[in-house]
Structure 1
Amino acid sequence: MSILGRFKDIMASNINALLDKAENPEKMINQYLRNVNSDLGKVKAETASVMAEEQRIKRELNDCRAEIERMERYAMKALEAGNEADARTFLERKTTLEAKLTELETSFQLASSNASQMKKMHDKLVTDIEELEARRNMIKAKWAAAKTQKRMNEIGSSAADTNRSMSAFGRMEVKVNRALDEANAMAELNAAPKDNIEDLAVKYDSGGNVDDALAALKAKIANKES
């Protein structure tokens, strides 16, 4: 049946292998779950149809066997009653039914095989879904942790670049300070010598005034004593 061929890949798939190859396991597992849930509905409907066909053929097969036994019983009764012609008629019907029985047995074997494959497919899909549902949160958490670690690594790389930039700025600052010190020294060297003569004159001017004040006090004291 076409549906059997269509889902062979699902039957043979290895979830772990698929996850190993996926660039984004979280996205892949969500998509796979959507796919298998959709497939499961189709497989359930097809499985039910195939199993129903198996049961129908089985009933027809049992009815045919029962009819063969019935024809044989009637043939024996006809012979016991001395009616050989009737017995022959029953046996001819029995022969026809036995040919039909052979066809039904072949059909039943095929229907049973199809039903078995469909049930295995259904059970595998159910198992896959249960496994994926159980593992999805774990995979999601691990994937989130991996992305966080990746971002932290990128931030760490940026921090290293910043440290290198800070070091470069430090070297630049040292260079600028040195240039400023050299400029200040050059300005000091280029300045005109300071004329200190006036300051020196004030010293002696103020000294003469003190001597005069001292002589006046001495004269005042001498006058009081006399």
Structure 2
Amino acid sequence: MPKQTILGRVAQLARADVNALLDQAEDPRKMLDHLIREYTGNIAEAEETVAATVGNLRLMEEDHREDVDSAREWGQKALAASRKADELRAGGAGPGADRFDALAKVALGRQLQAEQEARTAEPTIASQTVVVDRLKAGLDRMRVKLSQLTSKRDELVARAASTQAQNRMMDAVRNIGVLDPASELSRFEDKVRREEARVVGKQELAASSLDAQFEELESLGAGAEIEARLAALKAG
């Protein structure tokens, strides 16, 4: 994937307004689940791209260090060959001196080539370093956004569960109001009291009937006493 493409996607996803997306969604939870899957996939894809870009940058940096080290080593070899040529020339060994001067020139040529390669790589390394920094920053923002999405989804699920529990509780309370056990108990108590009153009435009725019988018995007793006394008077 081209770097500009992944950079653009990273920037676009990092700037996404979660609340605005939720406001437009018919089912916020499904929208969040979709966004989390999309972010997770894009983060994994971006991580692979960033890893490859970082790997290429490290290779270029390593090549650059090798070119710099190589330029330094060839410079040291050129200096050593030049000094040896001067030493031989001072001792009268001209042909040997010329050979070491030739070696010094070869070493200097290699030094120039290594320095040129190092200089050529430096702008590319600098630009790639900027790209890598931007990709890493974008990835960090995407990870933060993913964390926000996950927290938002978990909060929404918890709130939905709480709302459902409250609705079930309110339905139960409403059903209790329709079939109030207290009202049933009150009606049963009224029925018991009516039965108790009926028993009391029967008892009073029975008591009054018994009193009447005793009064009748007493009346009969008084009449017999009168008849007995009348008979005694006549006999006397």
Shorter chain as normaliser: what TM range?
0.5 to 0.7
Q: Which residue of 2 aligns with 1:221?
A: none
Cα distance change, pair 29–125 in 1 and its aligned pair in 2 (3 A): same
Cα distance change, pair 37–134 in 1 and its aligned pair in 2 (3 A): same
The residue type equivalent to 2:74 in the other structure is M
2:47 is equivalent to residue 44 of structure 1: yes
Tell me how far apart the structure 2 counterparts of residues 45 and 13 of structure 1 sit (CA, whole Å): 22
Partner SS for 2:138? helix
Percent pairwise identity:
21
Q: Which residue of 1 aligns with 2:156?
A: 139
Q: Which residue of 2 aligns with 1:119?
A: 136
2:94 is equivalent to residue 77 of structure 1: no
Tell me how far apart the structure 1 counterparts of residues 56 and 18 of structure 2 sit (CA, whole Å): 32
The 8 Å contact of residues 75 and 90 in structure 1, kept in 2 or not, is answered as yes
TM-score (norm 2): 0.56
Tell me how far apart the structure 2 counterparts of residues 17 and 103 of structure 1 sit (CA, whole Å): 47
Q: Which residue of 2 aligns with 1:98?
A: 115
Q: How many pairs align?
A: 150
Gaps of 5+ in 2: 86-99, 167-236
CA deviation string 1:61-85 (max 9, x = no partner): 1111100100110111111111322
The residue type equivalent to 1:69 in the other structure is R
Q: Which moved more, 1:100-109 or 1:59-68?
A: 100-109
Q: Which residue of 1 aligns with 2:145?
A: 128
Tell me how far apart the structure 1 counterparts of residues 77 and 56 of structure 2 sit (CA, whole Å): 31
CA deviation string 1:155-194 (max 9, x = no partner): xxxxxxxxxxxxxxxxxxxxxxxxxxxxxxxxxxxxxxxx
Q: Which residue of 2 aligns with 1:201?
A: none
RMSD (Å) for aligned C-alpha atoms = 2.6
Partner SS for 1:81? helix
The residue type equivalent to 1:133 in the other structure is T
Query: 1:55 is matched with which residue: 55, 58, 73?
Result: 58
Q: Which moved more, 1:6-15 or 1:74-83?
A: 6-15
Alpha-carbon shift at residue 55 of structure 1 (Å): 1.0
Tell me how far apart the structure 1 counterparts of residues 71 and 19 of structure 2 sit (CA, whole Å): 54
The 8 Å contact of residues 26 and 143 in structure 1, kept in 2 or not, is answered as no
Alpha-carbon shift at residue 145 of structure 1 (Å): 7.3
Q: Which moved more, 1:45-54 or 1:118-127?
A: 118-127
Cα distance change, pair 23–144 in 1 and its aligned pair in 2 (3 A): farther
The 8 Å contact of residues 36 and 146 in structure 2, kept in 1 or not, is answered as yes
The residue type equivalent to 1:140 in the other structure is V
CA deviation string 1:36-95 (max 9, x = no partner): 011111112111111111111111111111001001101111111113222222111111
